[in-house]
Amino acid sequence: MARKIKVDNALLKQFSRKSRKEKSHRDLIAYFLIVCEGEKTDPNYFRAFPKKAGKIVFDVELEGGGISTLKVVEKAIELRNASSQKYDRVWAVFDRDSFKASSFNNAILKAKANGIECAWSNEAFELWYLLHFHNRVTAMGRDDYKKAIELAVNDKIKKGKKHFQYRKNDPDMFTLLSKIGSQDLAIRWAKELSAKIDGEKFANYNPNTQVYKLVEELIGKSKKLNTEIVEKYTKGE
C-alpha cells in the first residue's frame, strides 16, 4: 500500500540543479513495517491514511495479530530480520491494557534495544482518538474510552443526525476524526503528555500515547525521516 507525503523544499536544496532536473519525476520511497497488537482497530486506522501527498511514497506493510505487548515487538523483529526488504522504519503498536507493568516496560525497552520504534499507549489506543477532541490529562481505564469517544463525537455532530456508537474495528474512524476532530491538536497534546515521561517506568504514565510519532512520519511532518529518505535518494540506494 503506497502512501505519499510532502517533503520540505529546503531538504531538496542539497541537490544540484542538474540532479533535481534529472530526478524531478522520480518518487522517493520509504519502506515501513507496522506490527499492531490489535487485529483490526489499529491496522484499519493506519490503512486509511491518504496515499498521495508529495514526493515521498510510503510502501507500508501492516501486520495485526491480537497478541501481547512483548509478542508484538518480537514479531516485528522476526519479520524485519526475515525480510529481503530493507525497511526505513519498523514500528510496534501496542497498548498497556491489562498487562503487567513489568511486561509493558520490558517490551518498550526490548524494542529500543533492537531498533524497533514504539507507538505505545497507556492504557489504550483509543486515547489517541480522544485527543482529537479533548486534552485528556487524567488517568482513565480502558473500558471508559468507548463512552468518552461517543460523548466527544456526538457533541460535535449536528443535532438530528444518527447517534454515534463507537466500534473498536470501525474502518471509518480516520475519516471521522479528520472531519470533526483535530489531528494537529492531538499531536500537540500527545507531545505534552510525552514530555512528562522521566525514566523507564512507562506504565506509570497514564494517560500517554506515542502514536503521534508514527502519525507525524506518515503525514510528512518528521524532519528526521524526511531528511533520511532524501539522503537515501541522493545516494541512489
* pLDDT tens-digit map of 33-42: 999 998 889 9
pTM flag (> 0.85):
yes
> Rounded mean pLDDT of the chain?
87
The model's confidence at residue 64, banded by pLDDT at 50, 70 and 90, is confident
Determine the average pLDDT of the residues in 122-139.
96
- Of 3-12, 29-38, 177-186, 215-224, the poorest mean pLDDT is in 3-12
Any idea which residue has 505487548 for its cell? 69
Determine the average pLDDT of the residues in 76-91.
96
9-57 tens-digit pLDDT: 554 454 434 444 445 557 788 999 999 998 889 999 999 997 755 677 8
Buried b (16+ CB within 10 A) or exposed e, 133-170: bbebeeebebeebeebbeebbeeeeeeeeeebebebeb
End-to-end CA distance of the chain: 20
The model's confidence at residue 89, banded by pLDDT at 50, 70 and 90, is very high
In single-letter form, the type of residue at position 171 comes to: P
Q: How far apart are CA 227 and CA 7, in angstroms?
A: 9
Q: Which domain holds residue 227?
A: 2-234
Question: How many separate domains does the chain show?
Answer: 1
